[in-house]
Structure 1
Amino acid sequence: MLKADNLMKDLERQAAGTLRALLEQVPAIKLLDIGHEALAPDHGVDIVAHVEVYGRRQALVCEVKSSGQPRHVRLALLHLRDIVANQAKDAAPVFIAPYLSPEAQALCREHDVGYLDLEGNARLAFGSVFIEREVASKPGVERRELRSIFKPKAAQVLRVMLRDPQRTWRVTELAEAAGVSLGHVSNVRVSLLGREWAQVSDAGLYLSEPDALLDEWRDAYEPPVGQRISFYTTLHGRSFEEAARRVMSSKRETVLLAMASFSAAHWLAPYGRTGTQYFYADDAGLEQLRSSLKLSSASKGENVTVTLLKDLGVFRDTVEPAPGATCTSPVQTYLDLAAAGERGREAADHLRQERLKWQK
C-alpha cells in the first residue's frame, strides 16, 4: 500500500509539472499557484491550479488517475462534474492520466471536462482560453498492453466473440469455444471491459463496440509467427483453384491447411486477383500442397507462399464459403489484408464492408 501511495504521489507531481508547463506556454495565462488544496473533506481533487487571464482569476480542479482506460475515465469524469456542481461552481474540471486514447479523449469532451496526459495530448477550455494539442505517440506500457490483448491465445477468444458480437458468453463456455484456459478468458474480459469494448448483462459478456476493437487490432496487428516459404507452380486460374479445393477436401482431419490473405479474400469477398496464392499450413498440410499443386522451390518468380504457423489457433476459426475452399475467418483475413500494403488495405476495406458489418 505504501509503495502504491508513493507511485501515486509521483504521478501527481508529474501531472502538476506537465500542467504547469502547458499553461506557461500561453502568454495570456498568468499561473498564480498550483498544488494540492482541499475544497472540502474527502473531495477527491488531486491538483488545484489558480490562474489569471487578462485580470480574471480562474481555478482548475484536476483529478489524476493512473489508468486512462475509458471505464476508469468515465467514473472520474462523473466525480469531477459533481465536485464542480457542488463545491467549486466557478472552477474548470480537468482530468489527467499517463495516457488517454482517442476514445477516452472523446469521453472528456462529451462530459465537457478538460484533459491532459503525460504524452502531450491536451484540451483545456476556460474563459477566453482554448488549448488543444494532439500527439501520435503511445507510451510503451500502452503498446505492450494492447499487444497482450492480441497475443495468439487472447486472439482466439476475440475471434470467437467477433463471429457474433451480440452473443453473450459465460467465462467457462467462452474458454471452451476458444480452446483456452479460464485465466486467458478472464484476462481478455478485464481488458475488454476496461476499454469499454464489451459489456456484461445478466446473460453474460458481449461485445458492445466490435468496430472499435477491430480498429485497434488492425492498427496493432502482428502477423502470425511462422516460417514463410515461397514456391512456384505451373497451375493457374481455374486449374489452380480446382487443385487447391481438391487437396483441402481430401486432407485428413489431422492435417491443418487454409487459404489466407488475398487467396481467402477471393472466396469471402472478391475484390481483385493477385499473382500470388497464400496459405497457412502445418508440416503435413505443406506436404499435401507440395505434391497436389506441383510446387517447386523458387528463388524468384514465386507465385505460391505458404506460412508454417508456430501457433495453430488460427485453424480453429476457419470457414468454408464453397466446398473445399477452406479459408481463414473473415476477421483473420481482414487483419492479414490490412497489413499487406496499399492494395491489401483496399481489399481489407472491401471485405469489411461485405462481411464484417455488425448491428448495434
Structure 2
Amino acid sequence: MDFDNLTPESLLDQGLQALRDLLGPTWDVTVQPPQWNPTGEGRSLDALVQLQPDGDNVYTQLLVDLRASVTPRVVEERLLPKLDLIRQVNHFTNPVVITPWIAPRVQLMLRENGIGYIDLTGNVSLRVTRPAIVLYTEGDSRPPRSSAARSSKATLAGPKAGRLVRLLADVAPPYRAGELADAADLSLPYVSRLLDTLEDQLLIRREGRVITDVDWPELLRARAEQLNLLRHNPYVGMVAPNGIKATLKALSALPEMYSREIVLTGSYAARSVAPLAVGGQLMLYVPAGPHTPDDVGDDLGLLRVDKGADVLLLRAHDKVVFERTVYENGVHRVALSQLVLDCLSGPGRMPAEGEAVLAHMQEAPELWRAPQIPA
C-alpha cells in the first residue's frame, strides 16, 4: 500500500472504511459536522464520528485523532492529556487514533490506556461499552517500506546503532551525547540523531542535554528486532568429534591473548547465566577474516561440515561483540547485553533464552552495569 501521498481526508476515509468492514452492514458510521473552536482559528479536533446500530437509538461517538505517525512520546505527551480531558468532560466519547501504521509497542501503550486505534495495514483495537463493541485485529508488525524509506530519522539498524545501544545498556547514566560518541567511536551528529529517535520512542529520558534514564530492557528488545543473528554474522558450521566439552576444554587451553578473540555466545552462554534448557549448538564469535573460522576450527579440533553442525563459528559483524566480555571457567563470554541481543535475534528457542537472561539482568543491574563510561 502506498502511503507516500496520503492526505488527512484520505487517511480518514480509509480508516473509517476499515472500521465499516469490521462492523458490517448493520452499523452506521457517520462523520459529524466539523467542530470549530471559539477563536475561529481552525478545528479543535480532526473528526467526530458517530457509530450506531441500525434500528437502535443507542449510539457512541469516536473522537478521531489523525496522525502521520504515532510514537510512544506522542502517546505520553499528546494523547494521554487529551484522554484525561475527554474523561472529565464526556464519558460517552471514545478517543481513536487513525494512522498509516502503528508499531506493536505503541499499540500496547494505546490499549493499556484505553485509546482505540486503526491503521491502514490492519492493526485495529476498539472497545466501547454501550453499544457493545469489541474489535481487535492484527496487521503488519513492521513499517511499510515506503514509510521507512522516506524517514530521515536514524534507526536502530546497522552496526553503528549496535555500538550505541550496547553502551547505553552497559553504562548507567547520566552522560551526554559527546561522551557517548567518543566512547563508541561514532560521530557526534549521528549519535545526536539516534538519541533523538530513542527519546521519541521513550527509550531514553533527557533533562536538557543530559541523558538521565535509559529503558535498557526495551532498548535491547527494540535493537534485536532489527537483527538476525545468523544472517548478520556469517557463520561456518563445524562438528566436534570429541564432544562439546572437549571443545570448550581446548578453547580454555589456548593462549589468553588468542582466546580473547574467540567469544562464547548463544545457548551455552545463556545457560551459564539463566539455565532454561539443555542442548543446542555451541556458538563462538571469531574475527571476521575470510579464513579465521577454519583456523580456529583447526585449533579446537573441529571438522567443517555443510549439515548437522553442533558448533557454529560466527564471523563478528562488528568489534562491539568483543567489548566488555566476561572471562569464566577459562572461556571468554560476550557481555550480558550482547548475549540478550544474540539470543533474541537467534533461531529456535534462543529468544526465550534471551528473555530469561534479560530477567536475570533486571534482578540486579548494579552487578553488571558500569557506574560511568570507561576511560
Same fold (TM over 0.5): yes
Q: CA deviation at 1:170?
A: 0.7
The one-letter amino acid of 1:246's match is: A
- Tell me which residue corresponds to 1:93: 95
The one-letter amino acid of 2:29's match is: L
1:127 aligns with 2:130: yes
SS at the partner of 2:138? coil
Task: Decide whether the 8 Å contact of 2:173 with 2:214 is kept in 1.
Answer: no
Task: Decide whether the 8 Å contact of 1:256 with 1:285 is kept in 2.
Answer: no
Task: Decide whether the 8 Å contact of 1:96 with 1:116 is kept in 2.
Answer: yes
Please give the per-residue CA displacement for 1:207-250, whole angstroms capped at 9, x wherever unaligned: 54333333334444322624321234444455432320232613
Cα distance change on mapping 1:248 and 1:310 into 2, 3 Å: farther
Q: CA deviation at 1:20?
A: 4.1
Task: Decide whether the 8 Å contact of 1:32 with 1:51 is kept in 2.
Answer: yes
In 2, the alpha carbon distance for the partners of 1:68 and 1:169 equals: 28
Question: Unmatched 5+ residue regions in structure 1?
Answer: 1-5
Task: Decide whether the 8 Å contact of 1:70 with 1:107 is kept in 2.
Answer: yes
In 1, the alpha carbon distance for the partners of 2:90 and 2:129 equals: 14
- Tell me which residue corresponds to 1:153: 160
Q: CA deviation at 1:330?
A: 1.7
The equivalent position to 2:264 in structure 1, one of 259, 283, 298, is: 259
SS at the partner of 1:49? strand
Task: Decide whether the 8 Å contact of 2:59 with 2:130 is kept in 1.
Answer: no
- Tell me which residue corresponds to 2:78: 76
In 1, the alpha carbon distance for the partners of 2:12 and 2:350 equals: 42
Q: CA deviation at 1:66?
A: 1.0
Q: CA deviation at 1:281?
A: 1.1
- Tell me which residue corresponds to 1:29: 27
Cα distance change on mapping 1:276 and 1:55 into 2, 3 Å: closer
Q: More displaced, 153-162 or 224-233?
A: 224-233
Q: More displaced, 66-75 or 89-98?
A: 89-98
Cα distance change on mapping 1:315 and 1:88 into 2, 3 Å: same
The equivalent position to 1:140 in structure 2, one of 122, 133, 144, is: 144
- Tell me which residue corresponds to 2:350: 344
The number of residues matched between the two structures is 350
SS at the partner of 2:332? coil
In 1, the alpha carbon distance for the partners of 2:97 and 2:281 equals: 51
- Tell me which residue corresponds to 1:195: 201
In 2, the alpha carbon distance for the partners of 1:299 and 1:7 equals: 48
In 2, the alpha carbon distance for the partners of 1:211 and 1:273 equals: 25
In 1, the alpha carbon distance for the partners of 2:119 and 2:257 equals: 57
Task: Decide whether the 8 Å contact of 2:343 with 2:350 is kept in 1.
Answer: yes
- Tell me which residue corresponds to 1:333: 339
The one-letter amino acid of 1:316's match is: E
In 2, the alpha carbon distance for the partners of 1:349 and 1:250 equals: 32
In 1, the alpha carbon distance for the partners of 2:174 and 2:326 equals: 22
In 1, the alpha carbon distance for the partners of 2:308 and 2:30 equals: 70
Task: Decide whether the 8 Å contact of 1:94 with 1:124 is kept in 2.
Answer: no
Task: Decide whether the 8 Å contact of 2:11 with 2:100 is kept in 1.
Answer: no
Task: Decide whether the 8 Å contact of 2:32 with 2:48 is kept in 1.
Answer: yes
- Tell me which residue corresponds to 2:369: none
In 2, the alpha carbon distance for the partners of 1:226 and 1:92 equals: 47
TM-score by length of 1: 0.79
- Tell me which residue corresponds to 1:45: 45
TM-score by length of 2: 0.76
Cα distance change on mapping 1:30 and 1:304 into 2, 3 Å: closer
Higher relative contact order (CA 8 A, sep 6+): 2
Cα distance change on mapping 1:155 and 1:116 into 2, 3 Å: same
SS at the partner of 2:360? helix
The one-letter amino acid of 2:343's match is: L
The equivalent position to 2:283 in structure 1, one of 270, 278, 281, is: 278
Larger fraction in helix: 1
Task: Decide whether the 8 Å contact of 1:116 with 1:122 is kept in 2.
Answer: yes
Task: Decide whether the 8 Å contact of 1:30 with 1:52 is kept in 2.
Answer: yes
The one-letter amino acid of 1:264's match is: A
In 1, the alpha carbon distance for the partners of 2:278 and 2:14 equals: 55
Please give the per-residue CA displacement for 1:67-94, whole angstroms capped at 9, x wherever unaligned: 1111113333246347747998864432
Question: Unmatched 5+ residue regions in structure 2?
Answer: 367-375
In 2, the alpha carbon distance for the partners of 1:260 and 1:351 equals: 12
Q: More displaced, 176-185 or 50-59?
A: 50-59
SS at the partner of 1:326? strand
Cα distance change on mapping 1:231 and 1:168 into 2, 3 Å: same
RMSD of aligned Cα (Å): 3.7
In 1, the alpha carbon distance for the partners of 2:293 and 2:89 equals: 69
Task: Decide whether the 8 Å contact of 1:108 with 1:115 is kept in 2.
Answer: yes
Task: Decide whether the 8 Å contact of 2:165 with 2:220 is kept in 1.
Answer: no
In 2, the alpha carbon distance for the partners of 1:267 and 1:236 equals: 18
In 1, the alpha carbon distance for the partners of 2:154 and 2:81 equals: 31
Please give the per-residue CA displacement for 1:257-294, whole angstroms capped at 9, x wherever unaligned: 31221343354445555474321112385466244313
